[in-house]
Every structure is written in C-alpha cells, then in structure tokens.
Amino acid sequence: MIFIKNKSEIEKMRAAGKLAAKLLDYISSYVKPGVSTLEINDLCEEFTRKHGAKSAPLGYKGFPKSVCTSVNQVVCHGIPKATEVLKEGDIINVDVTPLLDGYHGDSSRTFLVGAKTDPTVETLVRDTERAMYIGIEQIRPGNRVNDISNAIDDFLTPKGYGIVRDLMGHGIGRGFHEDPQVPHFRQNRKLAKLEPGMIFTVEPMVNLGTWQVNFSKEDHWTVTTKDGKWSAQFEHTVLVTEKGYEILTISD
C-alpha cells in the first residue's frame, strides 16, 4: 500500500529531510584517516539528539548502532566499530536516518578518505552519485518507478558496473520502509505509477565488479560484494510534486 502524504506530512518530511542533510554535512569533516567508524556513529548520535530527533536505525530489527558505516567492499548496513579505523584511500558510505516528530529523513553519501584515492574508485563514486540524480530526474506524475530504474541502468551498465539487485530504494514517511520498492536496475515490467504526494528514496548501490552480494551470517546485517571489489552508494529522499520532484534531503 502506497501512502500519499498530505500537506502536513510533507512539511514534517521536509524537516526530517533537512536534518538528515545537515547531519551528513556535519559528519563530513570527521571522515578522515585515523577516525574509527564508532567515532562517526557516536558523533552522529550526539548531533541527532541535540536537534531533538532519534536515530531510526538504532534498535531497528535489532540493529545495534545509530548509523550505517560501509567501508570499501561493504555495500551497505555496515556496523560501526571501535576497531575499524579509516585509512588513506578508503571510501565510506555513511547512511543516516533521523526520526523527527514521527517522520523519517533518510540519506547517505559515499566519502573519499584522505587525499589519495585510486582513480578507478574515485570515478565509481562520482558515477554512482550521478546515477542517483539521473534516476531522480525521471520523477514526475505519470511516470513509473521503472522509469527511474531503467534510466539508472542505462547510465551505469555500459560503464561495466554491477548494480546491486538484492537491495532497493523504498517508500518512507511515518514508516522507515514503506511501499513502493524502487529498484535501480532495468525492469522489463511496469511498476507503480508516480503520483503527487508519494515520497521514496533513490539509492543506487554500485559495484566495481559483479552485482552479486553476500549477507553476513555472523552479524546478520553487513552486506559485502561477492567478489570483494569496492562499492559506492548515494541516497536521497524525494517527494513527487504536481510538476516533478523535490529532493527533501538536499544540502543547503
């Protein structure tokens, strides 16, 4: 069931989205060599609380931390750890979801760690962010979710990337994960039609190698690339408007 948000709900989603953007802006200056992923988590938690919100991931289906920190070959849902210390040349996706006044603002960015990143990896990160925006540009009333999926695939697949298929974007509002699902790879079927008031995430996960992934049997959360090659992700929460779209998690 897809929930169409009313004006009041949209305003609350705008506030939650704006806080998510501010949180990622804030944490960006701390992403550097020598910093642990647990330090990033704790700083995000402190910032979130100071702004009158809660960290939605904390305790969600048993997730133990406030944000997801996914380094290098970790695709998503990486669990912050004191022993995981960032190094020069790493990449890290920080995925945040503050819960403000009962509504979720969900966004993530992949950061380059330090000043020396392998050019192939840097291109992966740049192309992943561009792919997200290419998908978002398809959002308007009358289009369908598969228009987003196909546009992203048309940009990434000719470049030789693997687009993760097991994890997708999703509707969001009062619920952390709502309908519709938003795939980022080509769909040979019609998916949900876009209507004003729909809010969902666009969040392609893009691998340097195969699209296939492994789900951790130890912590039941961490997702890694099957071939060990690196992965990047970007995510925005987007509203369908009367004429197009509004990115709710865009940075000022």
| Annotated binding-site positions for substrate | 77, 177
Question: Do 168 and 182 meet the contact criterion of CB atoms below 8 Å apart?
Answer: yes
**DSSP-assigned beta bridge partners for residue 162:** 207
Which residues are part of a known binding site for a divalent metal cation? 95, 106, 170, 203, 235
67/76 Cα distance (integer angstroms): 11
Separation between Cα atoms, residue 79 and residue 61, nearest integer Å? 14
- CA separation for the pair 66, 76 (Å, rounded): 14
Q: How deeply is 176 buried, as exposed, middle or buried, from its count of CB atoms within 10 A (0-12, 13-18, 19+)?
A: middle
Q: How many CB atoms lie within 10 A of CB 112?
A: 19
Nearest to residue 43, comparing CAs of 109, 96, 110?
96
H helices of the chain, where?
A: 7-28, 37-50, 119-136, 145-156
Question: Cα dihedral angle (24, 60, 68, 180), rounded to 10 degrees?
Answer: -70
| Cβ(60)–Cβ(35) below 8 Å | no
Annotated binding site: which residue ranges? 77, 95, 106, 170, 177, 203, 235
- The answer to whether 208 touches 231, Cβ cutoff 8 Å, is yes
185: phi then psi, degrees, rounded to nearest 5: -125, 165
